[in-house]
Amino acid sequence: MAKKTIDQTEVQGKTVLMRVDFNVPLDEQNAITDDRRIRMALPSIRSVIDRGGKLILMSHLGRPTGGEGDEKFSLSPAATRLGELLGSTVHFASDTVGDDAKAKAAALGAGEVLVLENLRFNAGEKKGDAEFAGKLAAMADVYCNDAFGTCHRKDASMVAVPEAMAGKPRVVGHLVAKEIAYLSDAISTPARPFVAILGGAKVSDKINVINNLLGICDSILIGGAMAYTFSLAQGGKVGNSLVEKDKVDLAKELLAKSDGKLHLPSDTHCGDDFGNIAGCNKAVVKAGEIPDGMEGLDIGPETAKTYSDIIKSAKTVVWNGPMGVFEKPPMDAGTKAVAQAVADSDATSIIGGGDSAAAVEQLGFAEQVSHVSTGGGASLAMLEGQAFAAVDLLDEA
């Protein structure tokens, strides 16, 4: 699945249209509260401008309604922040394919950068509209995809634009190349034992992932609230725990076909007041023995040790979803123990975006794992074994 990269592409004197993920959080004053996504795009951006290319950046931000402009979703703050990080002027177009964008794109000089306004201000983006895509494609000589977080989508900027640029170089940026190397290539030929750690709230969110990984992994460690649906499927008592009663039969089917690969918690840390975890009554009980009036909020210490021991012997680890309510101590203990085990292991360790990425960052282990994915939904889709049209149509290495 290796794709040609922006570094392998001649860009001097050419205009590169790069899809980035500048979907950064903004406060009420439209100030960026976390610029990590902009900083992570810098290697691909510098690869173009340092080699004399002209760079047009396009991204979405938030979910503006009806394909209409909305100042609170403007990419202007992202353009400003990018200029600060680069230490140079970054031009900003007030539209995507209108007069301002066309004029500023045509006026770009070597080593200069233009950020287009939010793609989702045009209804054609979410619709994958070919006409909208054609107008974007007409601005450039090279297409580069560096937005892994949207690689599982069929938005115009992800699929229709590179389709419209057939015959021109269509390549990946540093971020997408790295994601492919880990999430696709490493999983397709994993060093063994291969262990998957799956948490989160709902079995329904991870059905396809579990089904796919059962045929690939040696062990799947289940945590988070979805463990209680599995517990219910085994006839256990779950108290007030978050469960999907309509997925109990599905959980039974997954257990039946797992051939012992699915590992469920043997004990549970529970409490009687989710709104006041620090001050509520808490207890550690055997799995399937959660009292009425209490709910499971984390894996227990026995489970944490068992899971840690399995992780220590692993050669490849994929983790998607925390083990409990990691934002609220002491219910972060299970997630912390698992994160520590992953960090201490010799395995190639891949953290699949979303809450698990946030947990690893928050707990201080991000530098001790092999790869933290930039796309929660995209990483899940790749773990499910989905094909990505946005990647498949790019040039092979």
The pLDDT value given to residue 10: 98
Tell whether 65 is covered by a domain.
yes
pTM for the whole structure:
0.85
Name the pLDDT band for 1 (thresholds 50, 70, 90): low
Does the annotation place 356 within a ligand binding site? yes
Does the annotation place 63 within a ligand binding site? yes
159 shares its domain with 288: no
109 shares its domain with 209: no
Domain boundary among 128, 150, 178: 178
The pLDDT value given to residue 66: 66
Tell whether 394 is covered by a domain.
no
Digit-coded pLDDT (tens) for 324-350 = 999 899 999 999 999 999 999 999 999
217 shares its domain with 288: yes
Digit-coded pLDDT (tens) for 222-246 = 999 999 999 999 999 999 999 999 9
149 shares its domain with 242: no
- Residues 34-60 have a mean pLDDT of 96
Does the annotation place 46 within a ligand binding site? no
239 shares its domain with 323: yes
- In the chain, the number of structural domains is 2
Tell whether 393 is covered by a domain.
no
pLDDT at residue 353 is higher than 70: no
200 shares its domain with 167: no
Domain boundary among 178, 200, 222: 178
18: domain CATH number?
3.40.50.1260
How crowded is residue 266: how many other Cβ atoms within 10 Å of its Cβ? Answer: 15
Digit-coded pLDDT (tens) for 62-77 = 999 866 778 899 999 9
Does the annotation place 39 within a ligand binding site? no
Tell whether 342 is covered by a domain.
yes
74 shares its domain with 159: yes
Active site residues: 37, 202, 354, 377
171 shares its domain with 204: no
205 shares its domain with 312: yes
Least confident of 7-16, 186-195, 218-227: 186-195
**Residue whose entry in the numeric block shows the structure tokens 């940026």:** 173
Does the annotation place 120 within a ligand binding site? yes
288 shares its domain with 355: yes
Does the annotation place 167 within a ligand binding site? no
16 shares its domain with 124: yes
Of 351 and 377, the structure prediction assigns the larger pLDDT to: 351
Looking at every residue in the chain, the average pLDDT score rounds to: 93
152 shares its domain with 214: no
- Residues 47-71 have a mean pLDDT of 91
Helix, strand, or coil here: 270?
A: strand
Beta strands in the chain (DSSP E): 15-19, 54-58, 90-92, 113-115, 142-145, 170-172, 194-198, 219-222, 237-238, 262-263, 267-271, 282-286, 289-290, 295-299, 316-320, 348-351, 371-372
Tell whether 185 is covered by a domain.
no
Residues in the chain: 397
pLDDT at residue 299 is higher than 70: yes
pLDDT at residue 14 is higher than 70: yes
pLDDT at residue 360 is higher than 90: no
* Spatial separation of the C-alpha atoms in residues 74 and 85, rounded to whole Å: 19
Domain that holds residue 296: 190-383
Tell whether 127 is covered by a domain.
yes
* Spatial separation of the C-alpha atoms in residues 338 and 309, rounded to whole Å: 10
Does the annotation place 62 within a ligand binding site? yes
- Residues 370-374 have a mean pLDDT of 86
Burial zone of 346 (CB within 10 Å; 0-12 exposed, 13-18 middle, 19+ buried): exposed
Does the annotation place 61 within a ligand binding site? yes
- Residues 187-199 have a mean pLDDT of 91
Tell whether 159 is covered by a domain.
yes
Domain boundary among 153, 178, 203: 178
* Spatial separation of the C-alpha atoms in residues 117 and 138, rounded to whole Å: 17
Tell whether 397 is covered by a domain.
no
Of 147 and 385, the structure prediction assigns the larger pLDDT to: 147
